[in-house]
Structures are given as structure tokens and as C-alpha cells.
Amino acid sequence: MSRLFLRKSEVASGHAVSTWQSVMFSEFEAQMSSEARPFPCIFGVTGYRLDQLRYLFLDPFDIEVLGARLAQFVAESRSHGPNTSLVVFSRPRPVQTLDAFYRKMSLTLDQLARQDMSPSRHHHVARRHASPIGGAG
């Protein structure tokens, strides 16, 4: 696979049927295309149907790598269409309680926010958005 953010067809062609990536993606596709239990996000379903979603498989799940990939995705996201989102999959782990999942997700978001506000990233963003006369651009 040559691209980092995959389209539907690239997931199928790049991962053998028995791999965790293929299994996870098949479950995702079933959920997104279910008529009996439609996925509740209209924009997500539209993006899926129009092949505007992009897929990333992380193994191992690493916050720094995820943060870098999110920054890359944001930079190119408009080119994928108006209903684009990045769908990130990681290798399945043992089933956990809903509370444990919420704590893990909250920790992940907190770590991503801290990484995004790191001094080197903040300095780069501040320099890029500064106007020539010294105010914010």
C-alpha cells in the first residue's frame, strides 16, 4: 500500500481476508450500510457511500504517531470531499467495560490535545499564522 490514508477499495486490496484489519473493516462496513440499524451520523454515512472517508490502521496504537497522522490528514482533508472523516482502527484488544473504554478515550483525547499544544507545535502554528505587521493573521 502506497498511501497512508486508504480508500475502501485500498483496504480490501491491501489486507488479506483473515487479517485483523480486514475483519475490523468488514464490521465497520456492515454497520455503515445497515438498513435495519442505520448509523446515526448522516454525514458519516454519506461520506462512506461516496467513498470520502479515509482509513488508517495503527498497530501498535501510539499517541505520537496518531497525532502526526491527524495533522497530516487535516492538511489534506478538504481534497477528499465535504463529508470526509478519518476512521482509525487499531488491533482489537480484550473486551473492556464501557467505563474503561470512556476512560481510555478521554485519556487519548487529553494526550492528543497536549501533543497538539506542545511548544514546538505551538511555535510553528503561531509563526505560520502571524501577519507581517505583528498581529494574528
Distances (CA, A) of 102 to 39, 58, 98, 106, 109: 20, 19, 6, 6, 10
Tell me, what's the pLDDT at 3?
79
| Claim to verify: residue 87 and residue 99 sit in the same structural domain | no
pLDDT beyond 90 at 1:
no
Total length of the chain: 137
Tell me, what's the pLDDT at 120?
58
Tell me, what's the pLDDT at 116?
85
| Claim to verify: residue 4 and residue 58 sit in the same structural domain | yes
Please give the residue range of the domain that contains residue 5. 1-93
CA 128 to chain centre: 24
| Claim to verify: residue 114 and residue 83 sit in the same structural domain | no
| Claim to verify: residue 78 and residue 132 sit in the same structural domain | no
| Claim to verify: residue 70 and residue 103 sit in the same structural domain | no
| Claim to verify: residue 55 and residue 107 sit in the same structural domain | no
Tens digits of residue pLDDT in 82-129: 999 999 999 999 999 999 999 999 999 999 999 887 665 544 444 333
What would the mean pLDDT of 60-68 be, rounded to a whole number? 95
Residue by residue, DSSP assigns 56-101 as EEESS--HHHHHHHHHHHHHHGGGG-TT--EEEEE-------HHHH
pLDDT band at residue 135 using 50, 70 and 90 as cut-offs: very low
Tell me, what's the pLDDT at 38?
84
